[in-house]
A and B are shown apart, each in its own frame.
Chain A
Amino acid sequence: MFNIDFTGEFVAFFVFSVLIISGAVLMVSFTKVVHMVVSLAAVFIGVAGMFILLDAEFLAFVQVLIYAGAVSILMIFGIMMTKHQDSGAERPRTLNDTLSAIGALALFGILFYAIRQSDFPEPQTVPDGTVDNTMAIGQQLFTGYVVPFELVSVLLTVAFIGAIVLAKKEAD
């Protein structure tokens, strides 16, 4: 079950896991919201590293650009434009918090049990690492996934125009 050989992939996986878990735990334990966003950026970068380990280089770059770049900055703007001085440090632990912790732990227990119980069959075909990941994704995107791709572009346009309209100050 835990027979792990210390390959380079395992060492890199361990490093990125420590980065991700420490960032996420710090995120839920910090009291200042700007610190939370910075630790979240560490989590996003760790996930990008895991994507590189999984032979998804293009997705790793997309992750760094969209999440660690755009979403983090967007959230910092959201924090700066709203009131963020009151930290929740003095707020006592409520029953709601305890129940949430129990629920999250129970969900993790179920997931962990399911992952450990199920035996995953070995991959039938070994993917050759010689194929250019970005080129393969581009070919897929413009052959098999043309309709979803165009729909996503429409969705992004509508969403961003909608965001501007929503956040615009109404003319008095």
Chain B
Amino acid sequence: MLSSYLTMAAILFCIGLYGALTKRNAVIVLLSIELMLNAVNLNLVAFSKYGVVPSLTGQMFTLFSIAVAAAEAAVGIAVLIALYRARGTVNVDDYDEMRR
């Protein structure tokens, strides 16, 4: 059963990676990153039940990573809104100051 959960998390991570690399809307890129974080959390919880030494440590790690992910989402959206005010767009292709 453990390998099923790990495969599931790998599928979720790869879909999130594809979304983060291809989507043009910056909000959707943030959402794809949340998807990848969720896949990692699923791995941690799966090992906390089916690992060699089952313990609560995996669940504690997941709890902290959820808290950090929530902070990351809030700051990310705030940065996006500030960026939208300055540039008038949320298309990530238009944020290209660094390569001009």
Contacts and interface: CB of A to CB of B under 8 A. Distances in A.
A20 B66 CA distance: 18
A28 B22 contact: yes
Contacts of A103: 17, 21
A120 B35 contact: no
Interface string A103-115: 1110110011001
Given A88-B23, A111-B10, A159-B75, 20 more contacts: A13-B1, A24-B16, A36-B28, A47-B12, A56-B59, A71-B73, A74-B77, A75-B27, A82-B84, A88-B24, A100-B18, A101-B22, A104-B17, A104-B18, A136-B56, A137-B60, A140-B60, A160-B71, A162-B75, A169-B85
Interface of A: 9-10, 13, 17, 20-21, 24-25, 27-28, 33, 36-37, 40, 43-44, 47, 50-51, 54-56, 58-59, 62-63, 66-67, 70-71, 74-75, 77-79, 81-84, 88, 91, 96-97, 100-101, 103-105, 107-108, 111-112, 115-116, 120-121, 123-127, 133, 136-137, 140-141, 145, 148, 152, 155-156, 159-160, 162-164, 166-167, 169
Q: List the 10 closest A-B pairs by CB distance, nearest first.
A: A159-B71, A163-B78, A100-B21, A166-B78, A111-B10, A104-B18, A167-B78, A108-B14, A24-B15, A78-B77
